[in-house]
Structures are given as structure tokens and as C-alpha cells.
Amino acid sequence: MKLVRHSIKRMVQGIALVIAFVPAVLTLFGRLPAVYSFFAQAFALGPGLPGSYLRAAYYKLTLRECSIDRHKPLGLRVSGKTGSAKVLSVS
């Protein structure tokens, strides 16, 4: 059962990577800040699990350090030049 679930997750991640590839290319893989921000905000509008997979794929393609396996919630902050993803703490 775990193997099936893991296989389905990897397949969905692969589909999300294919969808996020064109926006990543248009941002030159994160090197055009204005275009990167546009697509980051567009992917942030995606609700629920599908939106989370798309955000993970987009950030995986455009940031230096970002795992595709971690959940990308709303309120994600990308730190400066290192290009790593961090979650904002809500007080």
C-alpha cells in the first residue's frame, strides 16, 4: 500500500513539474525577479493539495534549495540570494 501511495505521489509531482516548467523557463529559472514574482503569486492562488504540488514544483525549478517533498503553505517566504524557502511564523 505504501509503495502504491508513493508511486502515485511521484507521478503527481512529475505532472506538476511538467506544468511548472514553462513558467520556470519564462523566469529564466528564477533570474528575472518581476516575472518570478508574477508566477509565484499566480501559483500561490492555487487552492489545496493541487496548489501545494504546483507551488512545490515551481519552487523546486526556480530556487537553489527547495525540496519538492515538503509542503509549501501560503505565507511562504523566499530568502534573498540563497534562494531557500522558509515558512513565515504566524503570531
Predicted confidence (pLDDT) per residue in 12-32, tens digit: 999 999 999 999 999 999 899
Question: 43-68, pLDDT tens digit by residue?
Answer: 988 888 899 899 999 999 998 887 88
Question: Distance from CA of residue 16 to its chain's centroid?
Answer: 9
Q: Is 54 exposed, middle or buried (0-12, 13-18, 19+ CB in 10 A)?
A: buried
Q: Provide long-range contacts, Cβ within 8 A and 24+ apart, for 41-50.
A: 44/74, 44/76
Structural domain count of the chain: 1
Angle between helices 48-62 and 2-26 (to 10 degrees): 60
Residue 17 structural domain? 2-87
